[in-house]
Amino acid sequence: MMKMRVIDRYDPLKGEMLQILDPEGNVEEDLEPELGDKDLETLYRYMVLTRMADEKAVKLQRTGRLGTYAPSKGHEAAQVGSAYALKKDDWMFPYFRDLGAHLVRGFPLKTFYLYWMGNEEGMRIPEGLNNFTIAIPVGSQVPHAVGASWAAKILGHEIAVMVFFGDGATSEGDFHEGMNFAGVFRTPTVFVCLNNQYAISVPRARQTASETLAQKALAYGFRGIVVDGNDVLAVYVAAREALEKARSGGGPTFIEAYTYRLGDHTTSDDARRYRSEEEVRSWERKEPLLRFRAYLEKKGIWSEDYEEELVAEISEEISRAVEEAEAVPPPEMEDLFRYNYAEMPWNLREQMEDLREFLSHQKRSEDGGR
C-alpha cells in the first residue's frame, strides 16, 4: 500500500501544521527526512550565508552603497528549505524577499547585490539557470509562474514550477487568478507563501477572515498545507513532496510557510511603529538558525569551532561579492532597451534613438553649447 504523503495528512481547515523540529531542535523522528550529514551541512551553510549576506546588504544600504532593500532575516528556513527541493530543470519565480532561494539555485551573490544597486546587470539570469526575474509588483509573478507551468504541461516536460510570494500577495487579484487557473488546468505549480504575519504594516488578521492562508487552495480544487516556516526540515519535506506530485501530473499544491519577518519590511520602513518589542522577542526565540543549529549539535555536526570556521569562510565570500559588484561599471543607457526582446522592434529602437538624442542635447547644454 502506497504511503500517504505528508502534505495530504495535514488539514489546514483543522488548524494543523507540519513541524518536524521544535524551537529547541528536538526532532519528530517519524517525519525526519533521510538527509545525510553533507545535505544537512549544506542546508545550514545556505541559511548562514543568507543571514550574513542579508545583514551585509542592510549595512551597504545604510552607508549609501545599495538602494532600498527588502531584508530576509527570519525567512532563511522557508527560502532555503523549499528551494533545496527543486531540481535543475524546474523553474523558480521569486518575489523581492528571496535571497536564500536565489543562493540555493546558484544565482551569484555579486549579481544579487548589483540588482539592489540599481544596475541592470543584476537581473540578467545566468545561462542555464531556470529562474525568472525578481517581481516587485505584489503578486504579479503568480500568473507568470502558472503560465510557465501550463506551457510545461502542454509540451510534456516533466518539471515543476515553484513561485514565492508573501501573505500580502494573497490579497491581490493576481494571486486568485493564478490559483484558479492552476486548479482548473491542474498545472505543475507549487505555490510557496511566506506568511511573515505582515503586509508591510498590515497584520494578517486584517487581510483575510480565513483561519489559514493554505485553506484558500481548497476553494480552487487542490491541496494546501501549513508548515512551520522556521523549521527547515518541515519546509523541505513539504516542498519535496509537492514538487514530486507536480512533476508526476498530480497538479498544484499551496504551501503556507508560517514564519516571521524579524527585520523591517524594507530599509525604508520602521517596523517599531506597528509591532511591539515583546512580539518580536517571542519570535526571535523560535528563529530558524538557532533551531537548526541545536538539531545539528545533537547530531554531532555543529560545534563552536565549526561555526567559527564557517562564519570566517562566508565573510570572505561576501566581501568578494561586494568588491566584484562595486567594480562593475554603471550600465549603458541602451541597456534599458536591449534586453526586452530577442530582436529589438522598430518602435523600441525609435524610443532609444530619441532618448540618446535627448541626452546628447542635454550634455551639450551643460557644456555651454560646445
Q: What is the 3-state secondary structure (H, E, C) of 136-192?
A: CCCCCHHHHHHHHHHHHHHHCCCCCEEEEEEHHHHHCHHHHHHHHHHHHHCCCEEEE
What per-residue confidence (pLDDT) applies to 88? 96
Give the mean model confidence (pLDDT) for residues 207-229: 96
Integer Cα distance of 28 and 228 in angstroms: 13
Give the mean model confidence (pLDDT) for residues 113-139: 92
What per-residue confidence (pLDDT) applies to 1? 43
The superfamily CATH assigns to domain 6-331 is Thiamin diphosphate (ThDP)-binding fold, Pyr/PP domains (3.40.50.970)
Integer Cα distance of 88 and 332 in angstroms: 32
Of the candidates 102, 261, 275, 291, the residue annotated as catalytic is 261
Cell readout for 118 is 540599481
Of the candidates 62, 206, 272, 274, the residue annotated as catalytic is 274
Does the annotation mark 273 as catalytic? no
Q: What is the mean pLDDT of the chain?
A: 94
Does the annotation mark 274 as catalytic? yes
Residues 46-80 pLDDT 10s: 999 999 999 999 999 999 999 999 999 999 999 99
Residues 174-186 pLDDT 10s: 999 999 999 999 9
DSSP state, 32?
Answer: -
What per-residue confidence (pLDDT) applies to 130? 97
Residues 6+ apart with CB under 8 A from 80: 43, 46, 47, 50, 100, 101, 103, 104, 232
> Which is nearest to 220 in space by CA: 191, 259, 249, 258?
191
Is pLDDT of 2 > 60? Answer: no
Is pLDDT of 322 > 80? Answer: yes
CB 164 within 8 A of CB 99: no
Does the annotation mark 220 as catalytic? no
Mutual orientation of helices 37-62 and 109-116 as an angle, nearest 10°? 30
Residues 283-320 pLDDT 10s: 999 999 999 999 999 999 999 999 999 999 999 999 99
What per-residue confidence (pLDDT) applies to 370? 57
At residue 336 the predicted structure's pLDDT band, cuts being 50, 70 and 90, is: confident
> Which is nearest to 121 in space by CA: 294, 335, 353, 345?
335
What per-residue confidence (pLDDT) applies to 342? 86
Residues 84-104 pLDDT 10s: 999 999 999 999 999 999 999
